[in-house]
């Protein structure tokens, strides 16, 4: 049950403010083969974890790409996509599409959003609690050094306090989820053999400087983690 929290502010009023702050957890079976995020080739133009790449390699803007995806969205199991065009000259745009929600993508207004295993901002208690913790950090972000902001966001994403009772999450999981509901209903999931195995923090400041930090579990061991960081500037 992955979770993404992000704040979108296309025109930050302060030079020290951020256009985009994003924190995310990837939850899956610890034994599932996966790769850490890395640049895809020598051009150093695409940094990702080997998931959705069609948008990154296309010439379409974010809305047009999601519109194209939505045409065949009904053919797939449930999924959510968030795509963005970040351009200082033309202005920043973020769009969202979930194939179990509205038939077409939507443009997102500036603000704070949350996404888990349902549609954008579905009021699951774990998501609402995560947004609360995230917002508390965001409200202090301009007073924090970049390294401290990253660490505080990682702390948010590793919160294991279950947010119960929550009939909505229990109903979605039905019999599968009930035995582990007290662990599944937290921002950071810790179950035997399954749970949060990657934390990601993305910061983009007013001048297009990007800081990408990934914290990844090693050898299926919840006590061993590797942290990788990348810093670069957006091409405008």
Lowest mean pLDDT of 4-8, 17-21, 155-159, 232-236, name the range: 232-236
Q: What is the mean pLDDT of residues 118-138?
A: 96
Query: How far is Cα 206 from Cα 91, in angstroms, rounded to an integer?
Result: 11
pLDDT at res. 174: 65
pLDDT at 110 over 90: yes
Helices 125-138 and 167-177, packing angle to 10 deg: 120
pLDDT at res. 181: 78
pLDDT classification of 236: cutoffs 50, 70, 90: low
pLDDT at 138 over 80: yes
Closest to 89 measured CA to CA, from 210, 211, 203, 234: 234
Asked if residues 216 and 35 have their Cβ atoms less than 8 Å apart, the reply is no
**Measured in whole angstroms, how far is the alpha carbon of residue 13 from the centre of its chain?**
24
Closest to 25 measured CA to CA, from 186, 221, 211, 218: 186
pLDDT at res. 16: 80
Calculate what percentage of the chain has a pLDDT beyond 70: 94
pLDDT at res. 232: 92
pLDDT at res. 54: 82
Q: How many domains does the chain have?
A: 1
pLDDT digit string, tens, across residues 90-109: 789 999 999 999 999 999 99
Query: How far is Cα 80 from Cα 83, in angstroms, rounded to an integer?
Result: 10
In the block, tokens 């209903």 appear at 185
Q: Using CB atoms within 10 A of its CB, is residue 68 exposed (0-12), middle (13-18) or buried (19+)?
A: middle
Query: How far is Cα 79 from Cα 67, in angstroms, rounded to an integer?
Result: 14
Lowest mean pLDDT of 77-81, 103-107, 124-128, 166-170, name the range: 166-170
pLDDT at res. 109: 96
pLDDT at 6 over 70: yes
- Say which residues have a Cβ less than 8 Å from residue 72's Cβ, sequence separation at least 6: none
Helices 146-157 and 125-138, packing angle to 10 deg: 170
pLDDT at res. 74: 87
- Say which residues have a Cβ less than 8 Å from residue 42's Cβ, sequence separation at least 6: none
Query: How far is Cα 210 from Cα 213, in angstroms, rounded to an integer?
Result: 10
Closest to 19 measured CA to CA, from 150, 110, 108, 134: 110
Residues forming a β-bridge with 106: 96
Instruction: Verify cis geometry, omega within 30 degrees of 0, for the bond prior to 165.
Output: yes
**CATH code: domain of residue 201:** 3.60.60
pLDDT at res. 66: 95
What SS3 state is found at 17? coil
pLDDT digit string, tens, across residues 55-68: 888 899 999 999 99
Range of the domain at 97: 3-233
């Amino acid at each position: 049950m992955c979770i993404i929290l992000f704040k979108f502010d296309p025109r930050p009023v302060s030079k020290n403010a951020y256009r985009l702050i994003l924190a995310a957890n990837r939850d899956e079976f610890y034994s599932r083969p996966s790769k850490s995020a890395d640049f895809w080739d020598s051009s150093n133009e695409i940094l990702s974890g080997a998931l959705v790449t069609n948008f990154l390699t296309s010439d379409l803007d974010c809305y047009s790409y999601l519109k194209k995806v939505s045409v065949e969205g009904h053919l797939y199991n449930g999924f959510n996509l968030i795509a963005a065009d970040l351009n200082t000259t033309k202005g920043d745009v973020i769009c969202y599409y979930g194939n179990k929600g509205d038939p077409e993508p939507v443009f997102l207004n500036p603000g704070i959003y949350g996404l888990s295993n349902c549609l954008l901002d579905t009021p699951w208690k774990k998501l609402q609690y995560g947004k609360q913790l995230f917002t508390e950090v965001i409200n202090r972000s301009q007073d924090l050094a970049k390294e401290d902001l990253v660490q505080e966001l990682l702390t948010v994403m590793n919160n294991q306090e279950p947010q119960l009772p929550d009939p909505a999450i229990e109903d979605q999981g039905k019999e599968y989820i009930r035995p582990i509901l007290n662990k599944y209903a937290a921002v950071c999931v810790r179950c035997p053999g399954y749970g949060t195995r990657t934390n990601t923090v993305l910061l983009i400041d007013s001048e297009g400087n990007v800081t990408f930090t990934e914290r990844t579990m090693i050898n299926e061991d919840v006590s061993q983690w590797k942290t990788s960081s990348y810093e670069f500037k957006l091409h405008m």
